[in-house]
Amino acid sequence: MKHVVVVADMKLGKKGDVLVTHALGSCLGLMVYDPQAQVGGLLHAMLPLSKINPEKAASNPFMFVDIGVPKLFKEIYRIGGEKSRLVVKAAGCGQPLGKNEIFKIGERNFTVLKKLLWKNNVLLDADDVGGPSGRTVHFDVTTGEIKISSNGSVSLL
């Protein structure tokens, strides 16, 4: 079954599911997969740090990388994923407004992700981040295959 993950949201999947998110510009798309349990999750987080809006963070933790990522991992563990088996991949974190973007949201999103993973002893297996182009992600939870569409081309991550 196909599940669409909108901005500031997260979805979990199991064997037979495909998780899709569109329009990853500066947002982080994080895919976490356990190949043995055949469970996975896809997070589409918009901003790096929740401290800029604690009320919004309380009502929608998936908007923020710093609290959305740990929540995604907790949910993966809850449905049977095990840390030692996880495959973790990232996409997005671009600069859709160009290299002179003042706030560098995409870059900051990726920096916060790397710090969180490092602190928790989790390695990033692959990434497709940066640049000016938006991305669409198709994550097949049965196989773990991740297809990234950008600028009319499709590649595997």
Which residues, other chains included, contact 28 with Cβ-Cβ below 8 Å and sequence gap of 6+? 43, 44, 45, 65, 90, 91, 92, 93, 109, 110, 113
Query: What pLDDT, in 10s, does the model give residues 64-104?
Result: 999 999 999 999 999 999 999 999 999 999 987 767 767 89
What does the block give as tokens for 27?
A: 């947002």
* Segments forming the whole domain that contains residue 54: 2-156
What is the predicted pLDDT for the residue at 69? 99
Q: Report the pLDDT value the prediction gives residue 72, as an integer from 0 to 100.
A: 99
Residue 136: pLDDT over 70:
yes
Looking at residue 63, which CATH number applies to its domain?
3.30.1330.200
Number of domains present in the structure of the chain: 1
Instruction: State both tokens at 154.
Output: 């499709």
